[in-house]
Structure 1
Amino acid sequence: MTALVHETDPVEGYLAALAAAVHGPAKARTRMLAEIRDGLEDAVSAQGSIPRHHAAARALRGFGTVEEVAASCQLELTIAQTRHTSRALALTVPFLLACWYLIRTAGPSGDGQVPRVAQLVAAHLTGAATIAAVLAAAALAATGTLARWLPTPPGLPRVVAWTSTSTGAAMAVATIALLAASPSSANWPLVVLAGLFTAVSHAMVAGSARACRECARLTC
C-alpha cells in the first residue's frame, strides 16, 4: 500500500526518498520531515485547482532535488546528533568518574577491599573519561549558545564521534575488568555496581557514537 501511495503521489515519493537519504536523531529527523511535508503541501495548494499530480510536480520543481535538500537537512541533523552524543557523554561520564574514584581510593585486596586490577583500570581510564567530558561540554556550548555568534567548527562532529567511540570502547574494557575482579573483592557490591553502571553507560555512548560517525561521514 505504501509503495502504491509513493507511485501515485509525488510528494510522498519525494519525502520517502529524502527520509532514506538523511540520518540523525529520530525526533529531530521526524520533525524536520514533517515541516518539509507541510511546506510542500502549502506549495501544492498554492498551484490552484489543477490536478494534484501536476500541482505536486510544479511544487517539487521549485523546492529542489532530493540531493540538494538532503545536503542541507543532513548538516542540521549532524549538528543535532553531535549534541545528542555530547549530551550522552556529559550525563554518563561524571557518574563513572565518581564510581571509579571510589574504587581507586578504596584499600587494595590485601586490606580486604578492592582488587588492585580494578583500581588500575579505574586509574587509567579516568584521564580519558575526563577529556571526553570536557570535550562534550565544549561541543554542547559550541553548538548551542556560542552558535549564535560563532560558526560551528566543521570538524567538530567527527571529533565528537571518534572521541565518544574511544570512550565507549574504554567503557567496555572497564566493564569486563571490573566484573571479572568483583569475585575476589571483599567490597564486591561496589565493584559490581561500578561495572554494571559502566556497562549501561557503554550502551548509551556506543550507540550514539555510531550514529554520530554516520552523520559525520554524510556531512563531509
Structure 2
Amino acid sequence: MPRGTLGGMRATIDDYMRHLDGALIGPGRLKQDMLTEARHGLVDAVEGYREAGLPESEAERQAVAEFGTVVELAPAYQAELAMGAARQLALRLALVPVLLSQFAQLMWWRAPWTASGPFPPDAYVFASDVQDHLGYVVALMALSAYGLMMWSARRRGPVRRGLAKAVGVGAFALVAVNSAGGFVLYVWSVVLWNAALTWPPMLLGGGAIMVAYWWLGRSAATCVAAARLA
C-alpha cells in the first residue's frame, strides 16, 4: 500500500477514535486498552478491504459501517468502563484501608509521649479502636461488592449500571468517614500530646494517609462518572 494512502487512512481513523475517546469516561488504562483494540480492528478492516480491491474511501466507509458509529458503540463501551472502574475501585478498597490501618500503628512507633505523656481518655481509646477496625470492615464490604460484580458480569442494562454507581457512591461515603475519623483522631492526639504536632512519623504518616484517601476519592469519582454515562 502506498505510504500516502496509509497515512490518509490513519488520519480518518484518528478522527473516528478522537470522537470515541471523547464520548467515554473511565479508568485511564482500561479506556486506552479498549481504544487501542478498536483502532487495531479498524485498521485491519480497512487494509482488508483495500487488499480486496476497494479504493481507499470506500474501504474506510465499509470498515466504519461494519464497525459501527460512535453513537452505536459508545453505550456498550461505557458499560464495560463503568464495571471496570467499579471492579478496580472495589479491589483498591479491599487493600488500601487495611494497609492504612497497619501503617497508622507506625505513626506511634517509639513516640516519646507513650511513656511519659498522659494516658488517653476512654473515649479516645474507643474512637481509635473503631478507626483501626474500620479498614477491615471496608475491605470486607469491598470484597463482597467485587464478588457481586463478578456474579453479575453477564448481565446488561440497569442492573450493572446501578451496581457500578452504588460502588462509587459507597466508596465516597466510606472514604469520607475514614478521612473524617482520621482527622479527628489526629487533632485529638495533638491536643493530648503536644509533641505529636512535630513528631516525624506522625507528620509523614498523616500526609501519606491523606494522599491515599485522595487517590481513593478520585477513583470513586471516576466510577460514579462512568456509571452515569453507562
Paired amino acid for 2:226: C
The partner residue of 2:145 within 108, 124, 139 is 139
**Shift of the alpha carbon at 1:90?**
1.0
Q: Distance in 2 between matches of 1:174 and 1:193?
A: 18
**Comparing both chains, which one has the higher relative contact order based on Cα–Cα distances under 8 Å and sequence gaps of 6 or more?**
2
| Cross-structure match for 2:23 | 21
Considering only aligned residues, what root-mean-square deviation do their CA atoms show, in Å? 3.6
The Cα of 1:186 is off from its aligned counterpart by: 7.4
Deviations 1:30-86 (A, max 9, x none): 111111111111111222333323311221112211011111111111111111111
Aligned counterparts of 1:119 and 1:174: Cα–Cα separation in 2: 13
Give the secondary structure class of the aligned counterpart of 2:53. coil
Question: For residue 77 of structure 1, what is the amino acid of its counterpart?
Answer: L
Equivalent residue number for residue 112 of structure 1: 117
Tell me the residue number matched to 2:39. 37
In the alignment, is residue 172 of structure 1 matched against residue 183 of structure 2? Answer: no
Q: TM-score, normalised by structure 2?
A: 0.74
Aligned residues of 1:29 and 1:77 also touching (Cα < 8 A) = yes
The aligned counterpart of 1:181 is 188
Distance 1:44 1:141 in 2: 40
For normalisation by structure 1, the TM-score amounts to 0.77
Alignment: residue pair count:
210
Offset at 1:216?
A: 1.2
1:204 aligns with 2:215: yes
Task: Flag structure 1 segments of 5+ consecutive residues without an equivalent.
Answer: none
Q: Is the 8 A contact 1:178 1:192 kept in 2?
A: no
The Cα of 1:132 is off from its aligned counterpart by 2.8
In structure 2, list runs of 5 or more residues that go unmatched: 1-6, 108-112
**Contact kept? 1:179, 1:192, Cα under 8 Å:** no
CA contact (8 A) 2:168 2:221 kept: yes
Q: How does 1:1-220 map to 2 (within 5 A)?
A: 9-47=11-49, 48-98=52-102, 112=117, 115-116=120-121, 119=125, 121-123=127-129, 125=131, 129-144=135-150, 146=151, 151=155, 153-154=159-160, 155-183=162-190, 184-185=192-193, 188=196, 192=203, 195-219=206-230
Deviates further, 58-67 or 47-56: 47-56
Output the CA distance in 1 between the equivalents of 2:227 and 2:21: 17
Distance 1:171 1:213 in 2: 19
